[in-house]
A = this chain, B = another copy of it.
Amino acid sequence: MTRPIRSRTREAILTAAAARFTAVGFKGASLQDIAADVGCSKATLLYHFATKDALLFEMLAPALSAVEEMDRQLAGLDGREAQEAAIEAFVDLAVRFRGHLTMLNAELPSLLNQPGFNHLLPISERLADALAGRSDEVKARVAAQVVLAGVSGACAQLPDLPDDALRAALLPVTRAALN
């Protein structure tokens, strides 16, 4: 039984919003433009999502959950073990969520004031620490930042590359950058 067209509007809005936010940023995307992309009214959009922020949060919720889960998995690990686990998990995440990670990063300053997102900065710092293999050396920390920005940036830039091909390329590149 196919779902009626009307009950698919909510998903269409989320998809269109994600595309707009990723292309021109949160502030650069207007609710009217998103509604027009979907082919509904702005008021319809606001019937389904109470605020513009609610749209962004719902878009980012799966990536946020996955980031939190990754953080938990990395918590008890050290040195080389932490690094390898972080590499695998982060690359998987970036490939799976493509441009959403860069959205998380771009909107981080404002997201930090929101309940549910305020632990993101410590998570990000712990991830960088794991990628650096728990090392305090400048080079290791710089490499971790290169990987954080580079892997998520590359995934956003290469939307047409299939997941497995992208992942297969990213893993050795990431390992090489960190070692």
* Cross-interface CB contact of A142 among B142, B148, B161, cutoff 8 Å: B161
* A50 at the binding interface (Cβ < 8 Å): no
Q: How many residues on chain A are close to B (CB under 8 Å)?
A: 38
Given the known inter-chain contacts A153-B148, A153-B153, A154-B146, please indicate yes or no for A139 contacting B177, CB distance below 8 A: no
Given the known inter-chain contacts A25-B25, A106-B25, please indicate yes or no for A154 contacting B173, CB distance below 8 A: no
A78–B47 Cα gap in the complex (Å)? 57
* A166 at the binding interface (Cβ < 8 Å): yes
Q: For the complex formed by this chain, how many copies does it contain in all?
A: 2
A46–B143 Cα gap in the complex (Å)? 41
Contact (Cβ within 8 A) A139 B173: yes
**Chain B residue with minimal CB distance to A176?**
B176
Contact (Cβ within 8 A) B109 A23: yes
A4–B151 Cα gap in the complex (Å)? 47
Interface residues of A (CB under 8 A from B): 23-28, 106, 109-110, 138-139, 142-143, 145-154, 156-158, 161, 165-166, 168-170, 172-174, 176-177, 179
